[in-house]
């Protein structure tokens, strides 16, 4: 017979476990035909903090609003739950929306929306064929958007027709872990931008963003991943990580614009991405006429463009810094840019355009191939076509090359066995960006010695785990 003391200790451990496992014994309400609640909103009205509304298969015509903190609204596992309406998390902390299909709505605030929410999660949802922005969050902190698919959103005007819109976001403690994380989403065929970001400590990674472009591209200027705007007194992005994404077939695939003040875009890291265009988008737009740049930075300071594979058809530039119009606007400079270990290929005009040339602090170990008009446009020096000219004019690219990178299909551009990119890159562990020390697939790069150039190391295989399906917001 155990003593009372031991029994008391066992109870204490059990109680501690109960407190530390969010939702482990949460009350769950059932919604649907024959369940306790017929309507989703009725369940949300009844749910107290820490409780779950579990929605069974069916088609629901409602606009849902959260009523309490720490409530999880989820589709029953394995069921298709279609909502012809919207979900608003409002400002309730640690709110979770999981597993719904939203369609057919018209909403300027987005299909799934959150405002001033801390600790929220939007995951595993399908949002499509509606008017507005698919997922729209504003002034959130410690927030995750992952595992969602958003496509065929329409609408005209700011943020309408976008896939994911995030405005004025920040971090609870000045770290990326407690800022906004957007990962493992597929965003495609939306009428304007794929992923729009604005704020501080945003990380955008492991997403597939593609074909967000239509024949009206000249007036819409659709981008894949974009920071360009002003809301709530927040302008541009400060501290942003864009990595391990596949981004293709937009007018501008990755675009940061500081709207006139360098401090409004700063500390931007773009690495391990595969950025390219097919000859034409799935929406029928020719990349030879409908695209502008693969990566463009306009007005800002401090950026790192590292170990990306950039290629496929683009009308003008693989990388564009500052003023790319030919108008020589010095005020458009993006300063203190570090460009290392990238494959830069197949632009129909210039591989890398930098105006003014003083924008570039460091440029080395990049591999250039088949850029039609010039390899590099270097400020007032103009177009440069050979590595010898580039080294002479810039004093950089000591380890740079002009060669066929010998990569496989751009959707998964593994290096061939004899690729000149193998062992030709700089070792960047000294930058102390831990995520960069693995490649696009999560395969570790060497801690010492040369790295391979481009997003994927030679022999790279997928190693990064898929995010857990039922992870929860941080308990408070």
Q: What is the per-residue pLDDT across 305-361, written as a single tens digit (0 to 9) for each?
A: 999 999 999 999 999 999 988 899 998 999 999 999 999 999 999 999 999 999 999
Of 260, 391, 268, 281, whose CA–CA distance to 319 is shortest? 268
Three-state SS for 19?
helix
Long-range residue pairs from 378-386, CB within 8 A, at least 24 positions apart, any chain: 378/354, 379/354, 379/355, 380/328, 380/356, 381/357, 383/350
Cα–Cα distances (Å) from 121 to 27, 137, 138, in that order, read 19, 11, 13
Q: Is residue 385 part of a domain?
A: yes
What number is the average pLDDT over the span 358-377? 97
Three-state SS for 114?
strand
pLDDT attached to residue 20: 44
Q: What is the pLDDT of residues 77-136, one digit of tens each?
A: 999 999 999 999 999 999 999 999 999 999 988 999 999 999 999 999 999 999 999 999
Q: Are the CB atoms for 126 and 148 separated by under 8 Å?
A: yes
- Decide if pLDDT at 283 tops 80: yes
pLDDT attached to residue 157: 76
pLDDT attached to residue 464: 67
Residue 228: pLDDT band with limits 50, 70, 90: confident
Q: Are the CB atoms for 191 and 173 separated by under 8 Å?
A: no
Quote the percentage of the chain above a pLDDT of 70: 92
Domain of 367? 210-239+249-476
Q: Is residue 263 part of a domain?
A: yes
Q: Are the CB atoms for 104 and 126 separated by under 8 Å?
A: no
Q: Are the CB atoms for 199 and 176 separated by under 8 Å?
A: no
What number is the average pLDDT over the span 23-46? 92
- Decide if pLDDT at 14 tops 70: no
Q: Is residue 427 part of a domain?
A: yes
Please count the other Cβ atoms lying within 10 Å of the Cβ belonging to residue 461.
10
- Decide if pLDDT at 9 tops 70: no
Q: Note if the bond before 356 is cis, omega within 30 degrees.
A: yes
What mean pLDDT is reported for the chain? 91
What number is the average pLDDT over the span 30-55? 98
What number is the average pLDDT over the span 160-182? 96
Residue 366, judged by CB atoms within 10 A of its CB (0-12, 13-18, 19+), counts as: buried
Q: Is residue 154 part of a domain?
A: no
- Decide if pLDDT at 62 tops 60: yes
Instruction: To the nearest 10°, report the CA torsion of 284, 285, 286, 289.
Output: 160
Stated pTM of the model? 0.92
Residues 6+ apart with CB under 8 A from 16: none
Q: Is residue 459 part of a domain?
A: yes
Q: What is the pLDDT of residues 405-422, one digit of tens each?
A: 999 888 889 999 999 999
Residue 471: pLDDT band with limits 50, 70, 90: very low
Q: Are the CB atoms for 138 and 163 separated by under 8 Å?
A: no
Structure tokens at 155: 């609408």
Of 161, 155, 148, 137, whose CA–CA distance to 223 is shortest? 161
pLDDT attached to residue 19: 41
Of 64, 56, 130, whose CA–CA distance to 95 is shortest? 64
The three-point CA angle 436-440-442 to 5° equals 75
pLDDT attached to residue 467: 54
Residue 21: pLDDT band with limits 50, 70, 90: very low
Number of domains in the chain: 1
What number is the average pLDDT over the span 424-451? 97
Q: Are the CB atoms for 313 and 291 separated by under 8 Å?
A: yes
pLDDT attached to residue 181: 97
Q: Is residue 379 part of a domain?
A: yes
pLDDT attached to residue 92: 98
Q: Is residue 121 part of a domain?
A: no
- Decide if pLDDT at 15 tops 60: no
Rounded CA-CA distance 166/238 in Å is: 14
Please count the other Cβ atoms lying within 10 Å of the Cβ belonging to residue 67.
15
Q: Is residue 63 part of a domain?
A: no
């Amino acid at each position: 017979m155990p003593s009372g003391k031991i029994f008391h200790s066992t109870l204490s451990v059990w109680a501690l476990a109960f407190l530390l496992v969010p939702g482990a014994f949460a009350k769950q309400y059932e919604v649907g035909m024959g369940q306790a609640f017929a309507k989703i909103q009725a369940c949300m009205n009844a749910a107290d903090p820490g409780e779950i509304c579990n929605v069974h298969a069916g088609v629901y015509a409602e606009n849902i609003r959260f009523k309490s903190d720490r409530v999880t609204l989820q589709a029953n596992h394995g069921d298709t739950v279609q909502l012809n309406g919207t979900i608003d998390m409002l400002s309730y902390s640690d709110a979770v929306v999981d597993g719904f299909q939203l369609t057919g709505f018209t909403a300027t605030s987005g299909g799934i929306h959150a405002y001033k929410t801390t600790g929220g999660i939007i995951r595993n949802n399908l949002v499509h064929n509606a008017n507005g922005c698919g997922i729209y969050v504003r002034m959130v902190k410690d927030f995750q958007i992952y595992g969602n698919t958003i496509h065929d959103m329409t609408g005209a005007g700011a943020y309408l027709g976008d896939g994911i819109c995030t405005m004025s976001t920040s971090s609870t403690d000045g770290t990326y872990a407690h800022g906004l994380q957007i990962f493992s989403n597929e965003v495609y065929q939306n009428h304007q931008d794929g992923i729009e970001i604005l704020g501080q400590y945003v990380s955008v990674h492991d997403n597939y963003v593609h074909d967000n472009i239509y024949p009206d591209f000249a007036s819409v200027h659709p981008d894949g991943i974009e920071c360009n705007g002003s809301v709530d007194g927040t302008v541009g992005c400060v501290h942003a990580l864009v990595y391990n994404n596949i981004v293709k077939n937009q007018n501008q695939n990755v675009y940061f614009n500081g709207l006139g003040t360098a401090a409004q875009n700063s500390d931007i890291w773009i690495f391990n991405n595969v950025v390219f265009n097919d000859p034409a988008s799935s929406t029928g737009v020719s990349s030879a006429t409908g695209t502008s740049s693969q990566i463009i930075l306009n007005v800002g300071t401090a950026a790192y463009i590292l170990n990306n594979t950039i290629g496929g058809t683009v009308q003008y530039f693989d990388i564009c810094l500052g003023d790319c119009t030919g108008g020589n606007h010095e005020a458009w400079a993006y300063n203190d840019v570090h460009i290392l270990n990238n494959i830069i290929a197949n632009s129909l005009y210039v591989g890398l355009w930098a105006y003014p040339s003083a924008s570039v602090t460091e440029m080395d170990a990049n591999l250039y191939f088949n850029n039609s008009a010039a390899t590099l446009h270097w400020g007032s020096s103009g177009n440069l076509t050979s590595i010898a000219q580039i080294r002479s004019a810039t004093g950089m690219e000591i380890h740079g090359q002009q060669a066929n990178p010998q990569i496989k299909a751009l959707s998964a551009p593994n290096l061939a066995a004899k690729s000149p990119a193998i062992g030709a890159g700089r070792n960047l562990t000294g930058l102390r960006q831990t995520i960069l020390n693995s490649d696009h697939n999560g395969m570790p790069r060497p801690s010492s010695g040369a790295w391979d150039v481009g997003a994927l190391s030679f022999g790279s295989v997928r190693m990064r785990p898929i995010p857990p399906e039922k992870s929860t917001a941080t308990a408070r």
